[in-house]
Amino acid sequence: MLDYLINSNHLKKEFQRFGLEDKDLDFIKEMIVGPAESELCSQGPGDWPYCGRPVEKSFLYEIVANKKNGIDVDKWDYFARDCHHLGIRSNFDHLRFMAFARVIQIKERREICCRDKEVSNLYDMFYVRMTLHRRAYQHKTSNAIEHMIKDALYLADEFIKIPGTKGEKKSISGSIHDVEAFSKLNDSILSLIAMSDNPDLKPAQEMIKRIEKRQLYKYIGQTAPIDENKVKYSKSQGSQIVEDILAAGGNECKLLEPKDLLVDIVTFDYGSGKHNPIDKMKFYSKSDPDKPVSLKREHVSHMLPSLFSEQHVRLYCKKLDKKCFNVAWKCFQNWCQSKDYGVEDLNDDDDDGYPGSTPYTTPFGTPSSRQKNNSSEVPSPQSA
């Protein structure tokens, strides 16, 4: 994509005017996506994978998108932006981290290390990341809308054509293989679908209308399975889990079909899967600032988490009527009980518009509207 933007905007001469060479472009790409997988470069030892800069500048690759431990300015940027706009407090102080960061030689490479007393500040950073994913990026309502947009694009895929290289028309999904067509994909695709007079796009248009009217896929509940063998569900198992949930409900679940339910598998972690990202960070002490050391979790505090990854299995119902919602809840409850999983209590106040509780024409319900519609609200799980 970067190559296409440079060539299509004739920026090569501008790069040369400022003394930037091809290796500098390689450096920019490597800072974003990491090293090329096809070959090793000759600017350092045999295992040095980068071409843009030699091994003596290895620490530069830890600044923008740190593939080693995830401590980078990319996170600091969206932390500050999103916490500000979402009203979420961030306890991480990036200015303090930079004040105590220094480059130390570790074997044949140089790495960014931090003062040992700042380890709690870094734990706060990863906790902020997890909090933003839990409360915003992978919030149950955000994911419901995301799945509905995905379904709308799927329904419109073969009927929307995007001009690509040499004028060749590409479908929405086919655009990922054509950089010119892909560069034209943005939020306007939904407006293009909504305003089209093509009758084949009616199902996709109906899905977009549901999003606009807040007629979202109904969040049924979620469970956080804890498996002693550390076996995790994969996203490809969603369809099978739907089948198992319907089977767990018995005859009552015949009201629902697999296409009526959606399983969303969500993982929350500190950025390194099940591993502690701080284990990949080196620290130095005031007394010996040139000696890199590791700090184990138990040496920092016994109150820090022992698990750094958690998986949630969420269930949504695509139908809007209360009867289907109640049946789906019972099926899900039975499935969780059969697996010995705990299930979340749905009797909360931040619902996504259960039938009759939140007006579909407004993004948020009000206490008065809830009281007026109290008789038609979906019953709580205890009474379901």
In this prediction, residues 280-288 reach a mean pLDDT of 96
Q: Report pLDDT for 373.
A: 43
Buried b (16+ CB within 10 A) or exposed e, 358-383: bbeeeeebeeeebeebeeebbeebee
Q: What's the rounded mean pLDDT across residues 260-288?
A: 95
Statement: residue 364 has pLDDT above 60? no
Pairing of β 283-284 and β 109-115: parallel
DSSP, res 135: I
| Tens digit of each residue's pLDDT (9 = 90 or more) over 138-151 | 999 999 999 999 99
Report the predicted TM-score, pTM, of the whole model to 2 decimal places.
0.84
Banded pLDDT at 70 (limits 50, 70, 90): very high
pLDDT at 42: 52
Residue 303 has pLDDT above 70, yes or no: yes
Q: What is the share, in percent, of the chain residues with pLDDT greater than 90?
A: 74
Confidence of residue 69 (pLDDT cuts 50, 70, 90): very high
Q: Is the pLDDT of residue 4 over 80?
A: yes
User: Per mean pLDDT, which range of 130-144, 160-174, 285-299, 344-358 is the poorest?
Assistant: 344-358
Query: Is residue 36 a contact partner of residue 51, using CB atoms and an 8 Å limit?
Result: yes
Q: Are the C-beta atoms of 65 and 72 separated by less than 8 Å?
A: yes
61 and 67 in contact (C-beta within 8 Å)?
Answer: yes
Predicted local confidence at residue 146, as pLDDT? 97
- 302 CA to centre of own chain: 29
pLDDT averaged over every residue in the chain: 87
CA of 134: how far to CAs of 1, 88, 93, in Å? 31, 12, 21
Top-confidence residue, 371 or 216: 216
Strands 109-115 and 101-106: antiparallel
Mean local confidence (pLDDT), 286-296: 96
% of the chain with per-residue pLDDT over 70:
86
Ramachandran angles phi, psi of 208, nearest 5° = -65, -40
- Spell out the alpha helix ranges (H) of 238-311: 238-248, 297-300
Rg (CA), the chain: 25
Give the pLDDT of residue 376. Answer: 40
Confidence of residue 319 (pLDDT cuts 50, 70, 90): very high
pLDDT at 35: 83
- E strands along the chain, which residues? 101-106, 109-115, 162-163, 169-170, 218-223, 261-269, 283-284, 309-317
Kindly tell me if the per-residue pLDDT of 218 is higher than 70: yes
Averaged pLDDT, 323-328 = 93
